[in-house]
Structure 1
Amino acid sequence: MNKAPFVDGYLAYDDIGDGPPVVFLHDGTLDRRVWVQQLHAFDGYRVLNVDARGHGESSTPTTEYLRGDDVTALLDHLGLASAFLVGQAMGGTSALDTALDHPGRVAGLVLSGCGTSEQYWQSEFVVDLLKRQMECAFARDTDGYVEMFLRLWVDGPHRRPDQVEPSIRERCREMAMHTATQHARPNPVMPGKAADTWNRLSDVRVPLLGIAGELDCTDIHDMLDRIVSTVPNAKLESFAGSGHMVNMEQPERFNEAVRRFLDEVS
């Protein structure tokens, strides 16, 4: 494990390979282990796999911060002018925030299963489970909190838990439990967001690939469609038979799509 220090802590990251840098940014509640099937799949590129603050082996935040600023702090630590950013869910919103607030530092974007950092939830499935998850949090029911997370973002609205590959569910449960037990605080410090993200999408001038699992929730599909239809140089790829965790459910196809995108634009 490598560490990129900042004022009140550090970001933990992996640094693998040589070539144009590609930063992988993980889902909220999970950690950089979601990318284990991507780490060695990009020969000719430098893969940087980072734990966000409050996740994995990185520090728990104690002061206000912006996730986009943390991405550029990692690049500064490594002496890199810019990088490609590959983000899933929260990681995708962090990548897009970086492109909006630090456009010169981003060479291209892959956004999987996300909107902007100003995401909105309207579907009955998501709203109900988010409510139940918060109820578990207030009751300090960690097992229930993690199970609601898995129902939302691993199973999704179209599958029962027993219809998802058990090893994927268990890997996500382990990561989510680690976050909930190691980083939870009574008064957590939440990150700030880039401002006015939806209205600024047309300012994103780098190539962008959106990735959506067919079985993900309607809100994700709506937000990704909105991003891809607004960013000038963007395209969308849908993964049939996959839910939210596309990179874990269909790693070979995911890697092929990302590799093809990187080779085309680098």
Structure 2
Amino acid sequence: MTTNSRKPSDGPIHAVPAVGRIATPDGGRLWAERIGSGSPVVLLHGAGMDSRLWDAVVPELARRHDVIRYDARGLGRSTPPDKPFSDTEDLRVVLDHFGLRQAALVGLSMGGETALDFTLAHPDRVTALALVGASVSGHVWPRSTELSAYTRARREHETATLAELELAIWAAMGRTAPGGELIETMVAANAERRVVSEQHCVISAGRDAEPHLGEIAAPTLVVHGEHDHPEIAVIAERLVTDIPNSRGETIADADHYLPLRTPERLTELLLSYLP
């Protein structure tokens, strides 16, 4: 990917998307897009998705921000891993590639977990957090039949079942709700890819954000959809309670795929909160 030559502290000058792949030290290539002008914001999608999750948010957000989104390792247009990798290290590579010493991070689900872990590891590089339907490393999920089936499908590489459960559990509002067609397309395209990616993603032994949420100094917006899985609301409450400078918002008419279900409301919140 070509970038304009400027110091990391200079303001962004991208009026049209700069699109390409970023090389990682271990041989991977991450698809990324950069567009907009203003303070930098990096968008991180969830497992089984790709950066198309943000399609309806990027145009308005880019009017006031330097917006970067990328496909996580092995998903979307990024290359599949063939050796161990770290999602937090990939995020660092993206920031360094674009010459950004600091940025705000907006992460959904797995992307929120990555953003939290990165913030704890590199607090000086994060200006603000927006956690959307976020998971958090170290959280113990309750037992349930549907979640057990979901975990089993991931473990046993039953990709067709995994895609069906992804839609049933996390896209509960269905195909007729806003964004439904794109959600189904992303889930189908990434079901096999996510299994391969998760096999190679290395989670360090000390990666356990939940007991350390009180150490996060970055201002944090916590958002979840009214129709998301009930445990996401539990996690959201924990995040707001434990992160010192945080604020919580619940959005009606949205499930886990909130950026495609209610993009206008989410964008409004992001624009009002991000520096």
Q: TM-score, normalised by structure 1?
A: 0.88
- State the alpha-carbon separation in 2 of the partners of residues 166 and 238 from structure 1: 18
- State the alpha-carbon separation in 2 of the partners of residues 70 and 229 from structure 1: 29
Cα deviations by residue, 1:146-167 (Å, 9 ceiling, x for unpaired): 0111111110xxx5x4xx5356
Do residues 133 (structure 1) and 150 (structure 2) align? yes
Aligned-pair CA distance for 1:71 = 1.0
Matched with 1:197 is: 209
- The answer as to whether partners of 1:68 and 1:98 remain within 8 angstroms in 2 is yes
Matched with 1:150 is: 167
* Corresponding residue SS for 1:61: coil
Do residues 231 (structure 1) and 251 (structure 2) align? no
- State the alpha-carbon separation in 1 of the partners of residues 34 and 107 from structure 2: 16
Letter in 2 for 1:192: I
Matched with 1:86 is: 106
Cα deviations by residue, 1:72-113 (Å, 9 ceiling, x for unpaired): 111111111010000111111111111011111111000011
- State the alpha-carbon separation in 2 of the partners of residues 80 and 27 from structure 1: 23
- The answer as to whether partners of 2:178 and 2:260 remain within 8 angstroms in 1 is no
Matched with 2:191 is: 180
Do residues 260 (structure 1) and 258 (structure 2) align? no
- The answer as to whether partners of 2:224 and 2:251 remain within 8 angstroms in 1 is yes
* Corresponding residue SS for 1:188: helix
Distance 1:235 1:185, change over 3 A: closer
- The answer as to whether partners of 1:67 and 1:97 remain within 8 angstroms in 2 is no
Matched with 1:4 is: 22
- State the alpha-carbon separation in 2 of the partners of residues 98 and 10 from structure 1: 20
Letter in 2 for 1:147: E
Matched with 1:56 is: 76
Aligned-pair CA distance for 1:187 = 9.0
- The answer as to whether partners of 1:19 and 1:44 remain within 8 angstroms in 2 is yes
- State the alpha-carbon separation in 2 of the partners of residues 200 and 136 from structure 1: 31
Q: CA RMSD in A?
A: 2.1
- State the alpha-carbon separation in 1 of the partners of residues 90 and 252 from structure 2: 33
| Structure 1 residue ranges without an equivalent (≥5) | none
- The answer as to whether partners of 1:108 and 1:208 remain within 8 angstroms in 2 is yes
| Structure 2 residue ranges without an equivalent (≥5) | 1-18
1:47-126 paired onto structure 2 within 5 Å: 47-122=67-142
**Percent identity at matched positions?**
30
1:3-42 paired onto structure 2 within 5 Å: 3-6=21-24, 7-42=26-61
Aligned-pair CA distance for 1:243 = 1.4
Q: TM-score, normalised by structure 2?
A: 0.85
Matched with 2:6 is: none
Letter in 2 for 1:4: I
Matched with 2:13 is: none
Aligned-pair CA distance for 1:136 = 4.2
Q: How many pairs were matched up? A: 254
Matched with 1:168 is: 179
- The answer as to whether partners of 1:154 and 1:244 remain within 8 angstroms in 2 is yes
- State the alpha-carbon separation in 1 of the partners of residues 249 and 153 from structure 2: 35
Distance 1:112 1:167, change over 3 A: closer
Distance 1:220 1:138, change over 3 A: closer
Runs of 4+, deviation exceeding 6 Å: none
- The answer as to whether partners of 2:47 and 2:194 remain within 8 angstroms in 1 is no
